[in-house]
């Protein structure tokens, strides 16, 4: 299986004002994400999630250790262009990511900068707006869209550069529930139908439930990693570091404490219903 992201003892320290190295934001992280995987990263505030994400497209470079994107060392400047094209980033605030006054122009911005021929750009813009279900808004002004719609335009803008991997750093944090749903459905579809590798950083546990793998960070370390079922049934450990678990996992945990026999790794309402109706 092809490796999309690989870190070897990845360590990063921010520098404080006097140029001295500050605390360890990432502490010898070893992580491999394969092509086509959907990985969710969770962890309390300040655990190093954004710092890790920024290493994945060379916005930050390791203090020590290695970060590879598709086998390319991010510390080598000659790889920068290919890395940024392979791994696109989507951030929390869609307003900071929109650069044009018309949706289709915004989506065209990335491929224009890559020097893609106009005809191909036209096609990419249409395809990408379709992929995020925003084609009917292509002539609209982005600032008049809802948060969820804006974030989908931002995703289309990244998609138009044909990345193999998209890293999303709390892309739903500023959205209402319906906007969150739209964005998460879009991300899942891109993973399933286009085979795009997804790294989703989120503080909504429900958004991690459908990932192939969940990684839990705390204080610059990976403290848990596994399938959503493996990770979320560790209710006590997650709560100890200040994280929630999906609602149904929490309910299963409480029911089990009362001696009711449901599986500890229950994640969804459907799974809970099946067990309670037996
Ligand atoms: N620009 C910065 N300068 C100095 N320290 C920072 C900077 N950004 C983040 N940090 C520190 O690095 C650690 C990890 O932060 P971050 O990666 O943003 O965590 P998360 O995204 O999980 O909330 C925290 O202790 C944070 O205070
Ligand atoms: Mg963050």
What CATH number corresponds to the domain at position 41?
Answer: 3.40.50.300
- The per-residue pLDDT for range 191-214, each reduced to its tens digit, is 999 999 999 999 999 999 999 999
Q: Is residue 245 part of a domain?
A: no
The tokens of 205 are what? 């546990």
Q: Which ligand is nearest to the CA of 49?
A: 1
Ligand 1 centroid to Cα of residue 86, in Å, is 25
94 close to ligand 1 (CB < 6 Angstrom): no
Residue with tokens 């750009």: 121
Atom 7, ligand 1: residue with shortest CA distance? 14
Q: Is residue 250 part of a domain?
A: no
Q: Is residue 278 part of a domain?
A: no
Question: Which stretches in the chain have pLDDT values below 50?
Answer: none
Q: Is residue 272 part of a domain?
A: no
pLDDT of residue 262: 95
Q: Is residue 53 part of a domain?
A: yes
pLDDT of residue 1: 83
Ligand 1 centroid to Cα of residue 85, in Å, is 25
Cα 207 to Cα 247: distance, rounded to the nearest angstrom? 12
pLDDT of residue 19: 72
Cα 73 to Cα 82: distance, rounded to the nearest angstrom? 11
The tokens of 196 are what? 């795009």
- The per-residue pLDDT for range 60-111, each reduced to its tens digit, is 999 999 999 999 999 999 999 999 999 999 999 989 899 999 999 999 999 9
Best residue among 12, 14, 243 to mutate for probing ligand 1's pocket (most ligand atoms within 8 Å of CB) is: 14
Q: Is residue 59 part of a domain?
A: yes
Strand, coil or helix: 39: strand
Q: Is residue 224 part of a domain?
A: yes
Q: Is residue 242 part of a domain?
A: no
13 close to ligand 1 (CB < 6 Angstrom): no
Residues near ion ligand 2 (Cβ under 5 Å): 49-50
202 close to ligand 1 (CB < 6 Angstrom): no
Q: What is the pTM of this model?
A: 0.94
Cα 241 to Cα 261: distance, rounded to the nearest angstrom? 27
pLDDT of residue 16: 81
Ligand 1 centroid to Cα of residue 238, in Å, is 20
Q: Which ligand is nearest to the CA of 20?
A: 1
133 by Cβ neighbours in 10 Å (0-12 / 13-18 / 19+) ranks as middle
The tokens of 192 are what? 């399933």
Strand, coil or helix: 210: coil
Bridge pairing between strands 38-42 and 64-69: unpaired
pLDDT of residue 17: 78
Number of domains in the chain: 1
pLDDT of residue 22: 76
48 close to ligand 1 (CB < 6 Angstrom): yes
pLDDT of residue 260: 93
Selection from 92, 56, 43 nearest residue 203 by Cα: 43
List CB contacts of 11: < 8 A, sequence separation 6 or more. 24, 26, 27, 28, 29, 62, 63, 64, 65
Domain that holds residue 74: 3-228
51 close to ligand 1 (CB < 6 Angstrom): yes
């Amino acid at each position: 299986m092809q490796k999309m992201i690989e870190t070897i003892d990845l360590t990063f320290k921010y520098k404080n004002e006097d140029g001295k190295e500050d605390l360890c934001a990432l502490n010898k992280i070893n992580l491999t994400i394969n092509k086509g995987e959907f990985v969710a990263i969770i962890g309390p505030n300040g655990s190093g999630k954004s710092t890790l994400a920024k290493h994945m497209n060379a916005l930050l470079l390791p203090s020590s250790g290695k970060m590879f994107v598709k086998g390319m060392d991010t510390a080598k400047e000659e790889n920068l262009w290919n890395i940024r094209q392979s791994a696109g980033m989507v951030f929390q605030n869609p307003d900071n990511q929109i650069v044009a006054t018309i949706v289709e122009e915004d989506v065209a911005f990335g491929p224009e900068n890559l020097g893609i021929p106009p005809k191909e750009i036209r096609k990419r813009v249409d395809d990408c707006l379709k992929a995020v279900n925003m084609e009917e808004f292509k002539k609209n002004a982005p600032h008049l869209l809802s948060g969820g719609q804006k974030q989908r335009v931002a995703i289309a803008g990244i998609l138009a550069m044909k990345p193999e991997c998209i890293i999303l750093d709390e892309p739903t944090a500023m959205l209402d529930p319906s906007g969150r749903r739209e964005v998460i459905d879009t991300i899942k579809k891109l993973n399933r139908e286009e085979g795009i590798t997804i790294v989703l950083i989120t503080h909504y546990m429900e958004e991690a439930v459908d990932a192939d793998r969940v990684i839990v960070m705390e204080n610059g370390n990976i403290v848990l990693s596994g399938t959503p079922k493996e990770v979320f049934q560790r209710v006590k450990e997650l709560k100890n570091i200040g994280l929630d678990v999906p609602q149904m996992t929490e309910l299963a945990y409480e029911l089990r404490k009362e001696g009711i026999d449901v599986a500890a790794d229950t994640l969804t309402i459907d799974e809970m219903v099946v067990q309670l109706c037996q």
